[in-house]
Structure 1
């Protein structure tokens, strides 16, 4: 197990399944976790500075931007307001948190965005979500470029389909399709994503920045022809 004892990590979105899993894995690694439990990140768009400043009072070493939204809206009837709310939650808020955190992170500090494989493989009804996650991946690369001189690393983790309570009964056909398509033949767990985040925040990843770490059981390796 990676040892992050003495490190303080701010994790947003710990009220959600993935965010909670990320927080658990950091705690298991010995880190002190500062929770921002809101699952929807829109408030962080305007409150990022306050949230980060409060966390920084304990000495901030890493940030994981996990909070976000994933509504389903067909593109032909999507309103500007629906589009903007998803972009604000999944892109603008992580931008604001990252900008605020960079004022506190020491050399060797890190920021990890939770993106999605939909940032490169869009799904029907998720045009706003996929576009926001694609932009989030590029934001991390741009931030890695501009904050690298300060010794701050910025990366993304792109999950595939993650297990959550009752998903098998709510979407049995989707779970079956995923399990057949994934070389590892299972859904991911929140802990799978948490482990990736712990790694990226650790010294083992000290020369990794601007990278998108795909954690999807190999499903995107499946040929589509």
Structure 2
């Protein structure tokens, strides 16, 4: 994929996390200049890694629970790059809380970070993007199949899919495409030790026989931002090793 996005400028939110880091690294590998966003997490090592490999990158901080901060972030990314071709709305939180005991504040905290940030960043991106621009939300297979303790998270991911479809409809005439990527279970260090039964169940059920990797999500996002996807918008690209193809009965 080297050179697929040569000359492009991409903003990846939540790039301090495992998936966001993987997405940003794949954009850089495809030739894009990368704006790596972080809030509490540090993105300096990621920026240094991209730069050392001959790429161009910078890090920006913002609290994406604040819509105004989202808009400032997008404008700063466009100013740094001299343009903005792609935004990946990856930032999100995934707390566990039983629905019966969930407070309205806990509900709003997840929706604000996972959905409102994508709304605000997309709106701001559409103001600075030229025709051919791409916005991708990172949703989840839980937007289709919820898990216990994730009512707020699952609802937020389902909302991202519908927001992307709505934005695709409204921004399409301006040449801006909006899609979602819905990952399945992505591996990380220590996951098998922390959740052995869940990892074992997934590995048994998934047709391709493994957990996902951050680069699997990154490759899907790069594809959707590239000219290869120039006639794809309003689509949800499921990246789950085939797990949702299994019958649920």
State the match for 2:10 in structure 1: 9
| 1:86 and 2:87 aligned | no
State the match for 1:212 in structure 2: 236
1:171 is aligned, of 195, 202, 222, to: 195
Runs of 4+ in 1 over 4 A off after TM superposition: none
Higher RCO (C-alpha 8 Å, min separation 6): 1
The CA distance in 2 between the partners of 1:120 and 1:206, in whole Å, is 26
Q: TM-score, normalised by structure 2?
A: 0.88
State the match for 2:52 in structure 1: none
The CA distance in 2 between the partners of 1:210 and 1:44, in whole Å, is 26
- Structure 2: tracts of 5 or more residues without a match: 42-61
User: Is residue 63–residue 69 contact of structure 2 (8 Å, CA) maintained in 1?
Assistant: no
Which structure 2 residues correspond to residues 26-175 of structure 1 after superposition, within 5 A?
26-38=27-39, 42-57=64-79, 58=81, 59-175=83-199
27 and 53 in structure 1: CA distance in 2 versus 1, 3 angstrom threshold: same
Cα deviation per residue 1:147-197 (whole Å; 9 max; x = unaligned)? 000000000000000011110111111110001110001000000000000
Q: CA deviation at 1:224?
A: 1.4
State the match for 2:224 in structure 1: 200
2:206 is aligned, of 182, 198, 205, to: 182
The CA distance in 1 between the partners of 2:218 and 2:131, in whole Å, is 22
Aligned residues: 225
The CA distance in 1 between the partners of 2:84 and 2:68, in whole Å, is 20
| Superposition RMSD in Å | 1.2
Q: CA deviation at 1:49?
A: 1.2
Q: CA deviation at 1:44?
A: 4.6
- Structure 1: tracts of 5 or more residues without a match: none
